[in-house]
Amino acid sequence: MLAATTLLIGSSAWWPGNRGTVPIPETAAARPPATGGMNAIEAPEVVGSDPTLFHLDVADLRGWSSVAWSSGRNGHEELVAETSEGGEVRIELSRDPQTLAQRGGVTGSAMVWGNTAETTDYGDRHMVRWQPAPGLWAQVRSGVDAADALRIAESVRLDRVFRCAVPFRLVGFEATTLVKCATHFTVLYARGSPKPTVLPIALGPWGEVWLSIGGDPQTEYQVAMTQAQVAASGMPAQRITRVPARMTPPPSPAKAGWEVPAGEATAYVWGFGAPDEAVMTALVGAIRPVDDVLDMESWPTGPFG
């Protein structure tokens, strides 16, 4: 058994402000698999505390092409979306305003469902920050305009809890070593319909987990899975604990990498900082993809076990 691993996961939900509630349009389709537990409005302390849960979501996905949920153990969760025009929307939820993305000076104010919000406009960044509940801060950043940032802020939801779903398990590792978990989705539109449907993303990682093993805060390991059968990297194939794998050139800033074929998908192990070769190969040998990587409902409730 390797040293403890720390997992951070985000949860999605909406919050009913002090004046009414956010309408739930028919366009709000599938999200990560829902689960039980206290939501962020009921218990703000749950935000960024359980590495297997997301507490942040939005009701309106129009104009977005992809959405990614993530969370860490530092009381912070995040939702990042890419717009159809290639811009980025970033929504943060935190128990400490110091962990939110930096902003310029406050330039104005607005109301977000009955709560006073601070607005900031500088360059191509338009930000809205408010407190949806005591001890909880939310922030939206949009590259479109101030009205878009406010519209997104008004659609934030904090009333549900979702689990971080990844299509694999890491056998023999402890959940205490996991420091972050992320789930990625693509937004699809039916032909002739403006209503978006959210599905596991096809181009890019479905899910990824970040682990801290060995007590070195400068070294982290990432295990990710993508729906793609990649071409061989040219490196010789090996079998590690009966798992076929090959070393692969890592993307910057990673220092080492392995790829593991998994049927219709490919798993990757990346090492950052000063990765230990023994830990890298142990992670490769621990990967167990689910039987049907296309069936998200079959994905495990957590990546360990």
Amino acid (one-letter) located at 3? A
Q: What's the CA gap between 197 and 176, in Å, rounded?
A: 34
> In the chain, what are the domains?
53-163 (3.30.200), 168-298 (3.40.1000)
Q: Tell how many helices (H) and how many strands (E) occur in the chain.
A: 2, 21
Contact (CB, 8 A) for 24 and 192:
no
Burial of 87 (0-12, 13-18, 19+ CB in 10 A): middle
Q: What tokens appear for 192 in the block? A: 């002739």
Give the pairing of strands 115-122 and 287-289. unpaired
pLDDT tens-place values along the chain, 305 residues long: 333 222 222 222 222 232 233 333 333 345 677 888 899 999 999 999 987 899 999 987 777 888 888 988 889 999 998 887 778 899 999 999 999 998 877 789 999 988 899 999 887 889 999 999 999 999 999 988 889 899 999 999 999 998 888 889 999 888 888 888 888 777 655 455 555 555 544 445 677 888 888 778 889 999 998 876 655 455 556 767 677 888 988 888 999 999 998 877 889 999 999 999 999 999 999 999 888 877 777 888 888 86
The phi and psi torsions of 85 (rounded to 5 degrees) equal: -90, 0
Selection from 148, 108, 172 nearest residue 305 by Cα: 172
